């Protein structure tokens, strides 16, 4: 396990040095300017909109980190041949995949933690500056702990997207892996529609294929509880646990597949 | 026990997208490398040297045959604790310093932080990387990167070191430094397996060479035993006028004036350079250098292949 730890720490350090965290500056700028604009344009809805924006931006910025670092974990290392020196050391190939995944999840966690603080910072500022009378019109407090559930599920979703990017990068080039990951991300958000297709189309085979695909492809919409949280609707612990269990099963399966592909691959 | 042992090692790659067909990159290579020797694995570009290195590091898997290092199969993790590897034109992480890079590689061997730091510093001293070790690797020259590459190959104090084109892209000073370093590694009792397409690299340091052409091992042994022909000599002299040189060395193929009283004399292969040198020195000339013009590896291969074909043709005719 010391090799996995060494690789994970290395991935985190490389990400930091690669100026990945610059996106946080962009995120903070986006949040502050968006809040200011919302404050000017919306009448009494700014907290809801800022929560929506904050969660959406966290998901979008996280997605870009997950995809672009995820695909770079293996395919870029193969293209640059930096992997050769690592694989000549006493390290199993599956440890390389695992170490890289853990390192990227660590990078994502730190990124997300800073984004959460930024969103809560903006909401906290509104909460302090608005009058008590105005606050009474809010469905939920500005600094609502329930938002942490939404942030947590975004993080789990990004862990899943990362493993998808990692899986594709074990057998394809960076560009192909990025395209496939973004494609799967989009399809993954329409999983429910895919499942419902058999009810609306009059072709049993197409309906069966769509249903089968919906079970194989990741259901990423399940991780989006932003609307519930923003509108003060409860998200049950059972739902969160089930969604996390689903993600971990999917992550585990894809990690095993990525390790298997990586272990058999010729690095020409 | 042999340090490295290849038995009919073969590697086919599939080429073509629509109708992939196998292309043989390594063809039944059988080779032994004794412990403590420096083996030069020679061949022109595309002959299969790097493919063999990759097979030995298990970066690719063989189609057939086997490879062993220190008596164990190449995939054995315990064997990798005892070997070092420098890939061809290595790329290291630009954003790390040499110190951080070496510590990282040392950690992959399971050394604790303190030991990793100690090994990194000691190896960087050895390869002549001074205060630059705290600079990011993107600021390094090709020669410095090659030294860092050799340092990472030694981080575990290996018994066998594999170096893929270690002299590639280096200036003469850099080549000399790397040559000295490799010889010092041999003096410490390590086995060195290094690939090159430059014959002079092998001449300077190898105890034995193996020559590869189109994936096949066409010759192995001491360079002197291979029958590489000397095509002529290049003698650099000073302190003597050009007309005097042409008078004293009538057998010279050519005499070129370089600068500052220096001349380069091209001598034919059949000429005895010792006699020419004695004549020139007797007339007050000073010898600057003498270099043999060897048959190039490419010429050697062409010669070997032609001979092989002639033998095959002769055999068929007699049947």
Yes or no, beta carbons of A90 and B77 under 8 Å apart? yes
Architecture of domain B230-294: 2-Layer Sandwich (3.30)
ipTM confidence? 0.82
Q: Extract the tokens encoding B264.
A: 């380069």
Residue of A nearest to B116 (CA): A6
Q: Does domain B2-226 have CATH number 3.40.50.300?
A: yes
Q: Are B95 and A6 an interchain contact pair (Cβ–Cβ within 8 Å)? A: no
CB contact under 8 A, B152 and A85: yes
Nearest to A3 among B13, B96, B108 (CB): B108
Q: What is the pLDDT of residues B274-303, one digit of tens each?
A: 999 999 999 899 999 998 887 766 677 677
Provide the mean pLDDT of chain A: 86
pLDDT at A207 over 90: no
Q: What is the largest CA-CA distance in chain B?
A: 72
Average pLDDT in the A241-247 region?
96
Nearest CA distance, A15 vs chain B (angstrom)? 9
- Would you call A84 and B59 a contact, using CB atoms and an 8 Å cutoff? yes
Q: Which residues of A touch B83 (CB under 8 A)?
A: 88
CA atoms within 13 A on the CB side of B203: 13
Predicted local confidence at residue B317, as pLDDT = 58
Domain chopping of chain B, boundaries = 2-226, 230-294
Nearest CB partner across the interface for B110, out of A2, A85, A87: A2
* Residue B23 to residues A35, B20, B53, B63, B305, Cα–Cα distance (Å): 62, 9, 18, 11, 20
From B13, B78, B105, residue closest to A85, measured CB to CB = B105
Contact residues, chain A, for B81 at CB < 8 Å: 90
pLDDT, tens digit, 9 for 90 and up, residues B158-168: 999 999 998 88
Q: Is pLDDT above 60 for B198?
A: yes
3-state secondary structure B91-154: CCCCCCEHHHHHHHHHHHCCCCHHHHHHHHHHHHHHCCCCHHHHCEHHHCCHHHHHHHHHHHHC
CA B125, CA B148: separation in Å to the nearest integer? Answer: 10
Please list every residue in chain B whose beta carbon sits closer than 8 Å to the beta carbon of residue A13. 96, 100
Which is more confidently placed, A251 or A39? A251
């Amino acid at each position: 396990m010391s090799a996995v730890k060494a690789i994970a720490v290395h991935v985190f350090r490389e990400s930091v040095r690669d100026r990945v965290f610059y996106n946080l500056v962009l995120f903070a700028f986006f949040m502050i300017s968006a809040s200011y604009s919302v404050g000017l344009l919306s009448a009494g809805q700014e907290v809801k909109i800022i929560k929506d924006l904050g969660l959406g931006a966290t998901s979008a910025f996280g997605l870009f980190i997950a995809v672009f670092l995820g695909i770079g974990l293996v395919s870029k290392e193969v293209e640059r041949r930096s992997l050769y020196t690592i694989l000549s050391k006493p390290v199993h190939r599956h440890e390389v995949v695992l170490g890289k995944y853990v390192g990227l999840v660590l990078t994502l966690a730190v990124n997300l933690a800073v984004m959460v603080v930024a969103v809560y910072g903006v909401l906290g500022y509104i909460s302090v500056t608005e009058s008590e009378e105005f606050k009474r019109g809010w469905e939920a407090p500005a600094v609502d702990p329930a938002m942490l559930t939404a942030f947590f599920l975004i993080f789990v979703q990004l862990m899943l997207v990362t493993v998808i990017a990692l899986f594709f990068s074990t057998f394809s080039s960076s560009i192909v892996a990025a395209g496939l990951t973004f494609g799967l991300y989009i399809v993954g958000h329409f999983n429910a529609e895919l499942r419902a297709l058999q009810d609306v189309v009059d072709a049993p085979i197409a309906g069966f294929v769509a249903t089968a695909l919906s079970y194989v492809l990741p259901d990423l919409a399940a991780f989006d509880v932003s609307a519930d949280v923003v509108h003060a609707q409860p998200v049950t612990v059972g739902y969160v646990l089930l969604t996390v269990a689903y993600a971990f099963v999917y992550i585990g399966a894809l990690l095993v597949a990525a390790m298997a592909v990586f272990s058999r691959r010729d690095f020409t | 026990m042999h340090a490295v042992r290849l038995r009919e090692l073969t590697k086919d790659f599939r080429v073509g997208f629509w109708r992939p067909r196998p292309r043989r990159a390594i063809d039944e290579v059988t080779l032994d490398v004794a412990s403590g020797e420096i083996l030069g694995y020679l061949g022109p570009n595309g002959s299969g040297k790097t493919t063999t290195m990759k097979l030995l590091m298990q970066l690719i898997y063989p189609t057939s045959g086997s490879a062993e290092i220190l008596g164990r199969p190449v995939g054995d993790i315990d064997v990798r604790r005892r070997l070092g590897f420098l890939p061809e034109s290595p790329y290291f992480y630009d954003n790390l310093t040499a110190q951080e890079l070496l510590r990282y590689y040392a950690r992959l061997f399971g050394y604790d932080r303190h030991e990793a730091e100690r090994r990194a510093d000691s190896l960087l001293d050895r390869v002549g990387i001074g205060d630059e070790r705290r600079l990011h690797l993107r600021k390094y020259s090709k020669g410095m990167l090659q030294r860092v590459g050799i340092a990472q190959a030694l981080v575990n104090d290996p018994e066998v070191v594999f170096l893929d084109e270690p002299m590639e892209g280096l200036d003469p000073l850099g080549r000399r430094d790397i040559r000295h370093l490799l010889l010092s590694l041999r003096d410490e009792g390590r086995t060195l397996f290094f690939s090159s397409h430059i014959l002079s690299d092998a001449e300077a340091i190898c105890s034995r060479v193996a020559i590869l052409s189109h994936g096949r091992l066409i010759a192995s042994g001491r360079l002197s035993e291979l029958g590489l022909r000397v095509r002529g000599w290049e003698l650099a002299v000073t302190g003597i006028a050009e007309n005097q040189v042409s008078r004293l060395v009538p057998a010279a193929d050519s005499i070129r004036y370089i600068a500052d009283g220096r001349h380069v004399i091209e001598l034919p292969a059949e000429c005895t350079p010792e006699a020419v040198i004695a004549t020139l020195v007797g007339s007050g000339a000073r010898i600057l250098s003498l270099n043999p013009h060897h048959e190039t590896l490419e010429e050697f291969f062409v010669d070997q292949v032609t001979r092989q074909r002639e033998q095959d043709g002769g055999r068929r005719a007699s049947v």
